[in-house]
Chains A and B, each alone.
Chain A
Amino acid sequence: MIFDILSILLCLAGAFFFLGGTVGLLRFPDNYSRLHALTKADNLGLGFIVLGLVLASPTMPEIIKLGLIWLLALVGSSSACYFIGNYIYHTPSQEEE
C-alpha cells in the first residue's frame, strides 16, 4: 500500500516535469532555452516515472531493465542536446526550409 502511494507520487512528479518540458518547449523564446526545457523532461521526468514504476514492478530483471532504459535516455538526450546546440551555434542563418 505504502509502495503504491509512493509510486503514484513519483509518477505524478515525473508527469509534472514532462508538463514543464512541454510548456517550456512551447513558451520559451529561443532555441537554446527550448533545449534546456527538453533536457529537464528527459532527466527528471523520465527519471521520476522510472522510479515510480520500479516501486510498482515486482522482479529484479525488470528493475534493471528500467534503470538501463533511463540511463540510455540520458545518454541519448544529453548527446542530442549537444549535437543540436552545436548545430544552432555553428549555423549562422537559421533558414526557414
Chain B
Amino acid sequence: MQIFFLALACFLILNILAGLWRVVQGPTPADRMVSAQLFGTTGVAILLVLAQALEAPYIRNAALLFALLMIMAVLSFVRKSTPKQGQAGNIK
C-alpha cells in the first residue's frame, strides 16, 4: 500500500514536470498562470498522498494551506495586468 502511494506521488510529480513545458513555451502569460494553478492542485494531491504514505498527518496541513492560498497569485495576476500604462494614457 505504501509503495503504491509513493508511486502515485512520483507519477504526479512527473505530471508537474511535463506541465512545465507549457510554462516554458507560453505563449501568453495567461497560459503560464493556468499551468501554475494546475501545479498547485497537483501539489495538494501529492502532499495528501505523501501524508498517507509517510504516515505524517501534519503534512495534510500544508496541503490545506496550498488549497486555501493558491488563488492569491491568480488574483494578483489579474490585478497586475489590468492597467496598461499606454492604454491608460489613451483613455485620458
B-binding residues in A (CB < 8 A): 4, 8, 11, 14-15, 18-19, 21-22, 25-26, 31, 34-35, 37-38, 41-42, 45-46, 49-50, 53, 56-57, 62, 65-66, 68-70, 72-73, 76-77, 79-81, 83-84, 86-88, 91, 94-97
Number of inter-chain CB pairs below 8 Å: 132
Q: Which of B45, B63, B68, B71 contacts A14 (CB 8 A)?
A: B45
Contact A11 B74 (CB under 8 A): no
Q: What is the 8 Å Cβ interface bit string for chain B, positions 52-87, against chain A (1 contact, 0 not)?
A: 100001001001100110110011011001100000
Contact A83 B38 (CB under 8 A): no
Closest to A62 in B: B57
Known contacts A15-B11, A21-B38, A86-B78; A96/B26 CB under 8 A: yes
Q: Which of B4, B42, B68 contacts A72 (CB 8 A)?
A: B68
Count of B residues near A, CB < 8 Å?
44
| Whole-angstrom CA separation of A96 from B30 in the bound complex | 10
A-binding residues in B (CB < 8 A): 1, 4-5, 8, 11-12, 15, 18-19, 21-22, 26-31, 33-35, 37-38, 40-42, 44-45, 48-49, 52, 57, 60, 63-64, 67-68, 70-71, 74-75, 77-78, 81-82
| Whole-angstrom CA separation of A86 from B45 in the bound complex | 27
Chain B residues with CB below 8 A from A50, complex form: 48
Chain B residues with CB below 8 A from A83, complex form: 74-75, 78
Contact B4 A94 (CB under 8 A): no
Contact A94 B74 (CB under 8 A): no
